[in-house]
Amino acid sequence: MNPTPLQFFDREAERRVVERNLPHWSQAGTVCFITWRAHDSMPSTVLDQWHNDRVRWLTENGIDSTDSLWYQNLQSQHPNLALTFRKEFWNRWHDALDAGHGECVLRQPGLAQIVATSLHHFDADRYLLLDFVVMPNHAHVLAAFPDAYGLLAQCESWKHYTATQINRRLQRRGRFWQQDGFDHLARSEEQFAYLRDYIARNPTKANLHAGEYVHYSKPL
């Protein structure tokens, strides 16, 4: 897979949208920012407040949150409002992750390396890997996929493999990752630069020390 030039979201081009707890947009070749979190990384009280505030915000701005196409409607009808929404709720979500809830077993270098190795494994074959950081209870990834179906399929593959290996090391069974992740298609070169910087700075923002995370950035 040719690593250049990078492709960003094109409103006129075909896209795939899958509605789950969060909407998932994918577009062939487009750079995507992806977050997975450990199943215990978000206390129910924090998560419920976030969801309730999101519903209230959407209602106050004339968007029906029960409509399966609510995010598409927000994007198409109110692009500036959609930007405000992303900033408000994106920041709150990631601040809650950085608070370090749960066991945070990925603080252990050996377990974090399982995730890092898995991310590298099919680089330039199934996807173009650009950046990632493995944090104690979550991971951020910047990658591009050759078709619109590759994003969710590859995320499921990464999560299944790494969960199996991590549980084996911990001598336990059961869910490791939360089922639904967060993903966002990069809109511009400027936003891509912002996301790369966010990933690089995330350990400092969360007050982590060397050895408590794994960061990678591909030279471009």
Q: Is 19 a residue whose pLDDT tops 60?
A: no
Answer yes or no: do 65 and 111 share one domain: no
Which of 79-83, 95-99, 170-174 shows the lowest per-residue confidence on average (mean pLDDT)? 79-83
Reported pTM: 0.84
Q: Please, which residues have CB within 8 angstroms of residue 60's CB and are 6 or more apart in sequence?
A: none
Please name which of 94, 33, 21, 89 lies closest in space to residue 61, comparing C-alpha atoms.
Answer: 89
- 220: CATH: 3.30.70.1290
Residue 17: what are its φ and ψ, rounded to 5°? -125, 125
Whole-Å CA distances, 44 to 14, 40, 52: 36, 9, 12
Query: Cα–Cα distance between 29 and 16 in angstroms, integer?
Result: 12
Number of H helices, E strands in the chain: 6, 7
On whether both 9 and 34 belong to a single domain, the answer is: yes
Same domain, 165 and 198: yes
Regarding whether 61 and 21 lie in a shared domain, the answer is no
User: Domain range holding 86?
Assistant: 47-99
Number of structural domains found in the chain: 2
Token couple for 35 = 């977050």
114 and 219 together in one domain: yes
Summarize pLDDT for 188-202 with one digit per residue, the tens: 999 999 999 999 999
In a shared domain, residues 24 and 57:
no
How many CB atoms lie under 10 A from the CB of residue 212? 18
The share of the chain scoring above pLDDT 70, in percent, equals: 92
pLDDT in tens, 103-143: 999 999 999 999 999 999 999 999 999 999 999 999 999 99
Regarding whether 121 and 95 lie in a shared domain, the answer is: no
- Say whether both 66 and 140 belong to one domain: no
